[in-house]
Amino acid sequence: MLSIVIPLFNEEENIPKLYERIVGASPTWNSAFEAILVDDGSTDRTLSLLRKLYQKDSRFKYISFSRNFGHQTAVSAGLRYTTGDVIAVIDADLQDPPEELYRFLDKWRQGYQVVYGVRTKRKENIFKRSAYYIFYRILAWCSSIKIPLDSGDFCIMDRTIVDWLNVMPERNRFVRGLRSWIGYRQIGIPYERHKRFAGEVKYTFQKLLRLALDGMIDFSYRPLQVSGIFGLFICFFSLVSIVFFFLHRILGFRVFGYSPQDVPGFTSLILATLFLGGAQLTTLGLFGEYLGRIFDEVKQRPLYIVKEQDGFETKKEAYNT
Ligand code: UDP
Ligand code: MG
């Protein structure tokens, strides 16, 4: 059986079409399916539409959060509710076409445990496209594991992978990174990412930034190392200057006829101070990001709270122990 996890946040306009497209594409999958729709604290009619959908077609099960917990959390929760042998994750706005899933399933049947979509063409504006482009390159450079370039959460995963994801305790989840971290045989398939079918983008700039930080920070120490190396570089540079200054004071030493006193000092002094202050604060902020994440983990709060669900026998705990 195939389980399809779909996070929804205020997607009322997309639900009828989503249903139609999934049911339409399902004969190509050669397998039974269930859809697990995760309402991420929507404030529009999403939840009532999901209730009706389940009444109409019991393959479309749903859970509903007590508030907005975010896309990655919604995906993680949905994964815990799956029962299929193979699991797909798609967006509710039909940017990831269900009609492509049969190609993914073919690869899975050939023995790949993770088959992820790689975006060939994006239909977003140039600013967003370049931001994504740069982000994925920085991410690749930062992280200690190999996270595939330009691939989002659109994928199918074998039960083994999902079982591993479900026992991972972390609160700040970057699902596509965790997915690569698990390993096994993984492969990317290029696909064209379409425009959102209806409605506005639900990822605000702030949420996107948070996601980007999670990606960079949860998988490496590289950002910390960079600030360390940068600090060392500054130290070395100032040590050389100090030596030069003393030699000048004591011996009247000059380089190319210059002495430190020949240079008017104020501007350079202020610039150096400001620059270093800035660099220190940035590093402190970086530490803060790591510290905040440690704080999140230590609190041991549940990942999400389900206020309503239908189609499942039990409630899946958001805790692991
Ligand atoms: N989404 C969610 N919670 C959020 C934001 C988004 O569940 O807080 C869902 C949204 O309904 C959609 C998917 O995540 O199904 C991707 O969101 P969106 O289309 O806004 O982002 P993008 O396509 O730009 O990545
Ligand atoms: Mg979208």
Instruction: Report residues whose beta carbon is within 6 angstroms of any ligand 1 atom.
Output: 7-9, 11, 40, 68, 70-71, 74, 91-93, 95, 196, 201-203, 207
Q: Ligand 1 pocket test: which of 17, 75, 203 has the largest number of ligand atoms within 8 Å of its C-beta? A: 203
If one residue of 5, 50, 71, 128 were mutated to test the ligand 1 pocket, choosing by the most ligand atoms within 8 A of its CB, it would be 71
Distances (CA, A) of 162 to 19, 144, 178, 266: 24, 22, 10, 60
Q: Kindly list the averaged pLDDT for each block of 10 residues, start to end, along the chain of length 321.
A: 95 92 92 94 93 92 93 94 94 90 93 90 76 81 75 90 91 88 90 83 81 82 82 83 79 70 69 81 85 89 89 70 40
- Structural contact between residues 56 and 25, judged by C-beta atoms closer than 8 angstroms: no
- Report how far residue 268's alpha carbon sits from residue 277's, in angstroms, rounded to the nearest whole number: 14
Nearest Cα residue to 247 out of 238, 259, 236, 237: 259
Q: Which of 12, 90, 19, 14 has its CA nearest to residue 61?
A: 19
- Report which bound ligand comes closest to the CA of 14: 1
Give the Å distance between the CA of 259 and the centre of ligand 1.
60
Please answer whether residues 41 and 9 qualify as being in contact, where contact means their C-beta atoms are separated by less than 8 angstroms: yes
Distance 91 CA to ligand 2 centre (A): 6
Distances (CA, A) of 136 to 116, 118, 130: 15, 12, 10
Residue having the nearest C-alpha atom to atom 13 of ligand 1: 91
Assess contact for 95 and 193: CB atoms under 8 A.
Answer: yes
Rounded to whole angstroms, the Cα distance separating 313 from 38 reads: 16
Say what the pTM is: 0.80
Residue nearest to atom 20 of ligand 1 (CA): 202
Say how far apart CA 304 and CA 83 lie, in whole Å: 20
For tokens 């079918």, the residue is 197
SS3 category, 268: helix
The two three-digit tokens of residue 162, written as one number: 């999902």
Q: What is the pLDDT of residue 42?
A: 94
* ipTM (interface predicted TM): 0.93
What is the CA(182)–ligand 2 centre distance, in A?
A: 26
